[in-house]
Amino acid sequence: MQDVFIVDHPLIQHKLTYIRDRNTSTKMFKELLEEVSMLMAYEITRNLELEDTDIETPLVPTRGKVLGGKKLAVVPILRAGLGMVRGIENLIPNVRIGHLGMYRDHDTLQPVVYYNKLPQDMHQRDVILVDPMLATGGSAVIAVDELKKAGARSVKFMALIAAPEGIRHFFDHHPDVPIYVAAVDEKLSEQGYILPGLGDAGDRIFGTR
């Protein structure tokens, strides 16, 4: 399949520009990332199944539609993925949240898994994996490995910015998992940063640099 969906709504592109800007404060960065995540979640959940239900308006009985049987889970890759969770929860307040902790070793750029806490019934859940950055793709590949091992019924990967190299690497391992991004940037730097990118997402969210 190898589907990459670029969610290029004008509101998303406008906010992304301020997210990239080095002069954007930590507070604004977090708020903008949350807003963009909510807008992207609107797109990524477009095909959620609905079921009919009977209700009464103040005037007459009628039929409506509500979200149906399929269970969802959102799984952020720690740390930076945490910055995308609230935006999705704003739309789907009861969504279950799993956590996968990993960081890139700064010398080898290889991801190191340090935490895995997922809902028990993963085999019943469609998962939205979130991380703002798809750089070399190493973290996302390992994260999807973990989700598949846990039996996730399906996985979609939602990132803010991807590098072409990372997309290729990701699809070498998981061609069945669609990627949703706000932008595909030019390339990776020699240090494994996305160019033009936004810098280190975790540091910008948590103000650690």
- Return residues touching ligand URA (CB under 6 A): 80, 133, 135, 192-194, 197, 200-202
Please choose which of ligand PRP, ligand URA, none residue 98 contacts, taking the beta carbon within 5 to 8 angstroms, the exact cut-off set by kind.
Answer: none
Residues 63-82 that bind ligand PRP (CB under 6 A): 77, 79-80
55 CB neighbour count, 10 Å cutoff: 9
**36 touching ligand PRP, by CB under 6 A:** no
151 known ligand binder: no
Give yes or no: 203 in active site: yes
Each as own residue / partner, the long-range contacts of residues 91-96 (CB below 8 Å, 24 or more positions apart, any chain) are 91/38, 91/41, 91/42, 91/45, 92/41, 92/45, 96/71, 96/72, 96/125
Residue with tokens 């708020």: 31
Name the minimum Å distance from CB 95 to ligand URA: 24
Name the minimum Å distance from CB 113 to ligand PRP: 11
What track of x and - describes contact with ligand PRP for positions 104 through 133 (by CB under 6 A)?
Answer: x----x-x-------------------xxx
Give the Cα separation of 8 and 160 in Å (integer).
Answer: 11
105 within 8 A of 133, measured Cβ to Cβ: no
125 known ligand binder: no
Specify the DSSP class assigned to residue 182: S
- Residue range at the interface with ligand PRP (CB under 6 A); choices 45-53, 57-65, 120-128, 200-208: 200-208
Q: Give residue 39's identity as a one-letter amino acid code.
A: L
Closest CA to 78 of 136, 6, 131: 131
- Binding-site residue set for uracil: 194, 199-201
- Binding-site residue set for 5-phospho-alpha-D-ribose 1-diphosphate: 79, 104, 131-139, 200
